[in-house]
Amino acid sequence: MKSAAFCCGLLLLTSSGARAQEAAPGPTPSDEFIRLFSSYCLDRFPDDAAVATATTDNKLTKLSSEEASLFVRSKAGGEGWLIQGVGGRYVLTAERPPYHACTIRHAVLTPFSTEALNAMADKFVAAKGNRLVDGASTERPMGDGIASAMSYRNEVNAKGVPTGEIFMFAVVGYPGSAGEGQPKQFWEVRFSRVILRNAA
Instruction: Work out the burial of residue 126: count CB atoms within 10 Å of its CB; fewer than 13 is exposed, 13-18 middle, 19 or more buried.
Output: exposed
pLDDT of residue 2: 44
CB 136 within 8 A of CB 170: no
Q: How far is CA 200 from CA 5, 21, 75, 130, 172, in A?
A: 38, 44, 22, 16, 33
The predicted-structure confidence for 122-172, as pLDDT tens digits, reads as follows 999 999 999 999 999 999 888 888 888 999 999 999 999 999 999 999 998
pLDDT of residue 181: 61
CA end-to-end span of the chain: 39
pLDDT of residue 28: 76
CA quadruple 197, 32, 61, 72: dihedral sign = negative
CA-based nearest residue to 154, from 122, 130, 132: 132
Residues of the chain with pLDDT under 70: 1-27, 178-183, 198-200
pLDDT of residue 24: 44
